[in-house]
Amino acid sequence: MTIFVFDLDGTLTPPRLPMSEDFEKFFISWSKDKKCFIATGSDFKKVTEQMSEIAMNAFEGIYCSMGNVLWQKGEIIYKNEFKADVRLFEMLENYRSSTNYPYQLFDNYIEKRDGMINFSVLGRDCPYHERERYYAYDKEHKEREKIKNELMSFFPELDIAIGGMISMDITPKGCGKEQVAQKLREKYPDEKIIFFGDKTFEGGNDYSLALAVLELGNSSVVQVSGPDETKEILKNM
Ligand code: M1P
């Protein structure tokens, strides 16, 4: 049997938006005789906002917060802790207060999740159009990349992944998405593992997991442009 692993935002759903009804319906029926997992940077609450309970139940397990928590059928199987250095928080506060971003900022800019921190200069409590505005600003000014590079030189023991549109995911080294590959291989020593992600290229937040999956052997990675392409590929499998 093949093990299918899916990133969430940009792969099964548009970023931070619900899975389409059509895709949910298709997926529930397609996955009936298969073993599927999600591997996402988001926490479980966000997954529940983007997917119906029936669709979530189509997955054998949901690795949240970069694989730092595993949910199975509504129960936590394990979770990791991350006690970050106080100087990290000071620097994050400083990036927030000294940003040159010229528009409104929102609350929830340092979100502590199990085993990781999500940091967004803009703040996670922003409406969707503000995400798009920050994303365009960041593309031009590379604010997140600059912050990431600076933080990595101060804290070499950390990993930082710029995954979505407005934020970055901070974890101890080795506790990023890549940890999901080993955990799956322990569970399924002989099965083929296929990972679907929209950012499996260098610099993307699926890259570390894509590399780790390929290193396992008897595995492959599928780069997709979005949920529509994921669905098309699954249809033909
Ligand atoms: O799944 C990709 C990313 O989605 C969100 O990113 P953003 O809010 O920046 O679009 C976050 O949940 C992030 O943790 C996650 O990696």
Question: Do 183 and 74 lie in a common domain?
Answer: yes
Kindly list the catalytic residues: 7, 9
Ligand 1 is surrounded, with C-beta below 6 A, by: 8-9, 15-16, 40-42, 46, 118, 163-167, 169, 205
- Is there a single domain that holds both residue 161 and residue 90? yes
Tell me 18's DSSP state.
P
- Res 203: pLDDT: 82
For residue 97, the CA-to-ligand 1 centroid distance in Å is: 22
Is the pTM for the entire model greater than 0.95? no
Domain end position, chosen among 172, 199, 218: 172
One domain, residues 164 and 146: yes
Q: What's the domain range around 138?
A: 86-172
Whose C-alpha lies nearest to ligand 1, atom 11? Answer: 42
- CA-nearest residue for atom 6, ligand 1, is 164
Q: What type of residue is 149?
A: N
Comparing C-alpha atoms, which of 69, 119, 75 is closest to residue 94? 119
Q: Are residues 64 and 13 in the same domain?
A: yes
Q: What is the CATH number of the domain that holds 48?
A: 3.40.50.1000
Tens of pLDDT, residue by residue over 199-219, are 999 888 899 999 999 999 999
Confidence of residue 163 (pLDDT cuts 50, 70, 90): confident
Burial 8-30 (b: 16+ CB within 10 A, else e): bbbbbbebbeebbeebbeebeeb
The answer to whether residues 218 and 5 touch, using CB atoms and an 8 Å cutoff, is no
| Residue where a domain stops, chosen among 153, 172, 191 | 172
Q: How crowded is residue 101: how many other Cβ atoms within 10 Å of its Cβ? A: 15
CATH number of the domain bearing residue 117: 3.30.1240.20
Task: Give the max Cα distance, the chain.
Answer: 53
**CB contact at 8 A, 232 and 206:** no
Q: What percent of the chain has pLDDT over 90?
A: 94
If asked whether residues 167 and 188 sit together in one domain, one would say no
- Do 26 and 230 contact (CB within 8 A), yes or no? no
Residues 107, 183 share a domain: no
pLDDT at 230 over 90: yes
Q: Of the residues 144, 172, 200, which one is the last residue of a structural domain?
A: 172
| Residues 76 and 150 occupy one common structural domain | no
- For 213, the token pair is 């999956």
Could you give the dihedral angle defined by the CA atoms of residues 41, 43, 47 and 50, in that order, rounded to the nearest 10 degrees? -80
Please check whether residues 165 and 207 belong to one and the same domain: no
- Same domain, residue pair 102 and 157: yes
pLDDT at 14 over 80: yes
Q: Domain check: are 31 and 91 in the same one?
A: no
pLDDT value of residue 113: 93
Check whether residue 22 and residue 132 sit in a common domain. Answer: no
Q: Mean pLDDT throughout 32-52?
A: 96
- Which regions of 50-175 does DSSP assign to beta strands (E)? 61-64, 69-72, 75-79, 110-113, 116-119, 158-161, 168-172
* Number of the ligand 1 atom closest to the C-alpha atom of 120: 9
Instruction: Verify that 204 and 99 share a domain, yes or no.
Output: no
Number of domains, the chain: 2
Both tokens of residue 1? Answer: 């049997």
